[in-house]
């Protein structure tokens, strides 16, 4: 006698049907976390070998010296904005003095190479170490307060540094004209238009270092404490963790990365001026970070690249005769790049508060909601 031992089979279901396996429904594979950085790295590394022209977007082909110089500048500011996002986006520290450490790296390296005629490597090392030490000392003082008080203290330090540079004590800083790069102390690979590609590689390396350091620290236990401080610093203190050393660590690392960026900027620009010492320059970094998306992986880099490129193109348009045929009431504001940039930024923040990195998600959500509304009975 055959006994049906399958007690879990539903009545009326044959043994053959019960033995049939259920279809394996698999979720779509997620893209690995390293895929996006790898694609971006490949694009940046292969760009100098491309002769693709982009009329109306770039002045020449992708590998032309003018384009590579513009992209190098964008990447330097991208790395600098990423270092500022370590403070603002990941720890929630509003500092108005971040430009001070960028300027410290650039000016100190220029002075060491121009006055003492030290080679580039030693000048860069001393400038970065000194800029990091400066951020440690000023951070130890500034972080005794928080909120608007922190912004005001860092602003005071930045203004003091800017005034010191403009007053040109001992004819060391060059005043408003700044300092030029001493070519005798720089390797020939970084001098001349024909070597613009090497400066581009240098800017790519700096942006990769800045982004890599910030990403790596964000994934460590220290990064988790930073996120806790940004969310609720008082709660972190109640849990028995002193926020001060963690904030000071972020301040120091961000200052060191900014100082390194100053050295790279000195090489890319061929000199340094007092424009990078002002608090307005730090406000520009804040705009870059907010434009791309504060606290996101790609936001600060993307925001800095877009801002720098648009600023460059608007300056070119302002110097051309594009607006000459317009009425004076319209021509006057449109010929000012800052007016256009400010208007675009206000519109972007108003309609897309999460920055450029949040734009694809908002578009997908809008399309999904529209599809649901269309299929609804």
- By the 10 Å C-beta count (0-12 exposed, 13-18 middle, 19+ buried), 91 is classed as buried
Task: Please say if the pLDDT value at position 284 is more than 50.
Answer: yes
Is residue 271, in this structure, part of any structural domain at all? yes
Q: Which 8-state DSSP code applies to residue 53?
A: B
- What is the pLDDT confidence band of residue 377, given thresholds at 50, 70 and 90? low
Mean pLDDT value across residues 17-23: 48
As a whole number, the mean pLDDT across the chain is 86
Report DSSP letters for 305-339, one per residue: HHHHHHHHHHHHHHHTTTTTTS-HHHHHHHT-HHH
* Cα distance between residue 269 and residue 265, in whole Å: 6
Mean pLDDT value across residues 260-287: 92
* Cα distance between residue 256 and residue 264, in whole Å: 13
Looking at residue 322, its pLDDT comes to 65
Is residue 74, in this structure, part of any structural domain at all? yes
Domain that holds residue 130: 61-375
The answer to whether 109 touches 264, Cβ cutoff 8 Å, is: no
Looking at residue 206, its pLDDT comes to 96
Write phi, then psi, for 127 (nearest 5 degrees): -65, -45
CATH number of the domain within which 333 lies: 1.10.3470
**What is the Cβ-side half-sphere exposure of residue 66, based on CA atoms within 13 angstroms?**
9
Predicted model pTM: 0.86
State how far the alpha carbon of 275 is from the alpha carbons of 107, 163, 282, 309, 348, in Å: 12, 11, 11, 18, 26
Mean pLDDT value across residues 36-58: 83
Write phi, then psi, for 90 (nearest 5 degrees): -105, -25
- What is the pLDDT confidence band of residue 7, given thresholds at 50, 70 and 90? very low
Mean pLDDT value across residues 304-325: 81
Q: Find how far residue 12's CA is from the centre of its chain.
A: 65
Mean pLDDT value across residues 334-357: 78
Q: Is 272 helix (H, G, I), strand (E, B) or coil?
A: strand
pLDDT tens-place string over residues 113-161: 999 999 999 999 999 999 999 999 999 999 999 989 999 999 999 999 9
Looking at residue 5, its pLDDT comes to 45
Mean pLDDT value across residues 82-102: 94
Is residue 183, in this structure, part of any structural domain at all? yes
The answer to whether 81 touches 102, Cβ cutoff 8 Å, is: no
* Cα distance between residue 173 and residue 110, in whole Å: 9
Mean pLDDT value across residues 12-32: 54
Is residue 77, in this structure, part of any structural domain at all? yes
Mean pLDDT value across residues 101-121: 94
* E strand or H helix that includes residue 248: helix 243-269
Task: Please say if the pLDDT value at position 208 is more than 50.
Answer: yes
**What is the Cβ-side half-sphere exposure of residue 3, based on CA atoms within 13 angstroms?**
2
Looking at residue 363, its pLDDT comes to 74
* E strand or H helix that includes residue 344: helix 337-351
Of the candidates 68, 126, 80, the one whose C-alpha atom is nearest the C-alpha of residue 264 is 80
Looking at residue 2, its pLDDT comes to 46
pLDDT cut 70: percent of the chain above it: 88
Task: Please say if the pLDDT value at position 19 is more than 60.
Answer: no
- What is the pLDDT confidence band of residue 330, given thresholds at 50, 70 and 90? low
Q: Where is pLDDT greater, at 189 or 330?
A: 189
Is residue 345, in this structure, part of any structural domain at all? yes
Is residue 26, in this structure, part of any structural domain at all? no
The answer to whether 213 touches 84, Cβ cutoff 8 Å, is: no
Looking at residue 16, its pLDDT comes to 47
**What is the Cβ-side half-sphere exposure of residue 173, based on CA atoms within 13 angstroms?**
22
Q: Where is pLDDT greater, at 119 or 10?
A: 119
Task: Please say if the pLDDT value at position 26 is more than 70.
Answer: no
Looking at residue 176, its pLDDT comes to 86
Close Cβ partners of 14 (under 8 Å, ≥ 6 residues apart): none
Provide the domain count of the chain.
Answer: 1
Is residue 20, in this structure, part of any structural domain at all? no
pLDDT tens-place string over residues 197-207: 999 999 999 99
pLDDT tens-place string over residues 290-302: 999 998 989 999 9
Is residue 3, in this structure, part of any structural domain at all? no
Looking at residue 215, its pLDDT comes to 93
Report DSSP letters for 225-244, one per residue: HHHHHHHHHHHHHHTT--HH
pLDDT tens-place string over residues 48-90: 888 888 887 887 888 899 999 999 999 999 999 999 999 999 9
First to last CA, the chain: 55
Looking at residue 198, its pLDDT comes to 94
- What is the pLDDT confidence band of residue 8, given thresholds at 50, 70 and 90? very low
Most trustworthy range by pLDDT among 30-39, 118-127, 350-359: 118-127
């Amino acid at each position: 006698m055959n006994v049906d031992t399958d007690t879990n089979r539903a009545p009326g279901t044959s043994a053959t049907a019960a033995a049939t396996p259920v279809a394996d429904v698999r979720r779509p594979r997620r893209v690995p976390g390293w895929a996006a950085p790898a694609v971006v790295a490949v694009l940046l590394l292969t760009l100098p070998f491309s002769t693709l022209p982009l009329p109306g977007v770039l002045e020449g082909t992708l590998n032309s010296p003018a384009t590579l110089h513009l992209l190098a500048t964008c990447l330097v500011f991208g790395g600098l904005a990423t270092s500022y996002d370590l403070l603002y986006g990941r720890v929630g520290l509003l500092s108005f003095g971040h430009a001070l450490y960028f300027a410290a790296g650039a000016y100190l390296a220029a002075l060491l190479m121009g006055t003492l005629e030290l080679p580039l490597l030693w000048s860069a090392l001393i400038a970065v170490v000194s800029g990091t030490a400066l951020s440690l000392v000023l951070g130890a003082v500034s972080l005794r307060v928080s909120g608007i008080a922190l912004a005001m203290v860092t602003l005071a330090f930045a203004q003091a540094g800017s005034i010191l540079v403009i007053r040109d004590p001992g004819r060391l800083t060059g005043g408003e004209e700044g300092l030029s790069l001493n070519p005798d102390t720089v390797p020939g690979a970084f001098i001349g238009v024909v070597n613009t590609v090497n400066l581009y590689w240098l800017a790519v390396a700096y942006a990769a270092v800045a982004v890599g350091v910030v990403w790596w620290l964000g994934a460590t236990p220290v990064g988790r404490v930073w996120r806790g401080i940004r969310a609720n610093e008082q709660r972190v203190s109640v849990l028995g963790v002193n926020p001060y050393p963690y904030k000071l660590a972020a301040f120091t690392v961000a200052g060191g990365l900014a100082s390194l960026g100053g050295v790279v900027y000195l090489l890319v620009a061929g000199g340094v001026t007092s424009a990078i010492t002002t608090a307005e320059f730090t406000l520009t970094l804040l705009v870059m970070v907010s434009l791309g998306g504060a606290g996101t992986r790609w936001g600060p880099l993307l925001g800095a690249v877009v801002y720098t490129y648009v600023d460059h193109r608007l300056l070119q348009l302002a110097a051309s005769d594009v607006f000459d045929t317009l009425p004076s009431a319209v021509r006057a504001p449109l010929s000012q790049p800052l007016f256009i940039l400010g208007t675009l930024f206000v519109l972007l923040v108003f309609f897309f508060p999460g920055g450029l990195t949040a734009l694809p998600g908002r578009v997908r959500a809008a399309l999904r909601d529209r599809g649901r509304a269309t299929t609804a009975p």
